[in-house]
Chains A and B, each alone.
Chain A
Amino acid sequence: MRSRLILWVLAIALLVALPPVMTAIGQTFYIDLVRRIMILAIAAVSLNLILGYGGLVSFGHAAYLGIGAYSVGILAFYGFTNGWLQWAVAIGASALVALAIGAVSIRTSGVYFIMITLAFTQMLYYLGISLEEFGGDDGMRLKAKSQFAGLIDLREPITFYYLALVLMLASVYLVYRIVNSRFGVVLRAAKSNEARTRAIGFPPYPYRLAAFVMAGAMCGLAGALYANHTNYIVPGLMSWQHSGDLMFMVILGGMASTAGPVLGAFAFIFTEEFLKVLLNWVAPIFGKRDWAEYWAILMGPVLVLSVIFFRRGLAGIFYKPDA
Chain B
Amino acid sequence: MLEVRGLTKAFGALRACDGIDFEVREGETHAVIGPNGAGTTTFISQLAGNLLPDSGSVHFAGSDVTRLPAPQRARMGLARSFQITSVYPDFTALDNVALAVQARSGRTGFWKAARGDASLVEPAKQALQAVGLGERTHVFAANLSHGEQRQLEVAMALATEPRLLLLDEPMAGMGTEESQRMITLLSRLKQTKTIILVEHDMDAVFRLADRISVLVYGRVIATDTPERIRANTEVRKAYLGED
With beta carbons under 8 angstroms apart, the residue of B103, B115, B120 that contacts A201 is: B103
Q: A322 to chain B: closest CB distance in Å?
A: 9
Contact with A along B99-126 (1 / 0, CB 8 A): 1101110011111111101001000000
Segment with Cβ contacts to B, from A33-41, A90-98, A173-181: A173-181
Which of B91, B92, B108 has its CB near the most chain A CB atoms (within 10 A)?
Answer: B108
- Contact at A196–B50, with CB atoms within 8 Å? no
Give complex CA distance A149, B238 in Å: 85
Q: B144 to chain A: closest CB distance in Å?
A: 14
Q: Which of B44-89 contact A (CB under 8 A)?
A: 48, 50, 69-72, 74-75, 79-80, 82, 86-89
Q: How many residues of A contact B (CB 8 A)?
A: 22
Give complex CA distance A184, B109 in Å: 9
Contact with B along A143-163 (1 / 0, CB 8 A): 000000000000000000000
Residue of A nearest to B138 (CB): A323
With beta carbons under 8 angstroms apart, the residue of B48, B69, B87, B110 that contacts A181 is: B110
Q: A182 to chain B: closest CB distance in Å?
A: 5
- Contact at B71–A203, with CB atoms within 8 Å? yes
Our count of residue pairs bridging A and B at CB distance below 8 angstroms stands at 94
Q: How many residues of B contact A (CB 8 A)?
A: 39
A7 within 8 A of B: no
Q: Which of A157-201 contact B (CB under 8 A)?
A: 177-178, 180-186, 189, 192-193, 195-201
With beta carbons under 8 angstroms apart, the residue of A182, A183, A199 that contacts B80 is: A199
Q: B106 to chain A: closest CB distance in Å?
A: 9
With beta carbons under 8 angstroms apart, the residue of A178, A180, A201 that contacts B104 is: A201
- Contact at B114–A180, with CB atoms within 8 Å? yes
- Contact at B109–A183, with CB atoms within 8 Å? yes
B156 within 8 A of A: yes
Q: B238 to chain A: closest CB distance in Å?
A: 31
Give complex CA distance A184, B86 in Å: 20
A202 within 8 A of B: yes
Apart from A195-B86, A199-B80: 12 A-B pairs, beta carbons within 8 A: A177-B111, A180-B114, A180-B115, A182-B109, A185-B99, A185-B102, A186-B102, A200-B100, A200-B156, A201-B75, A201-B104, A323-B92
Residues of A within 8 A of B (CB): 177-178, 180-186, 189, 192-193, 195-203, 323
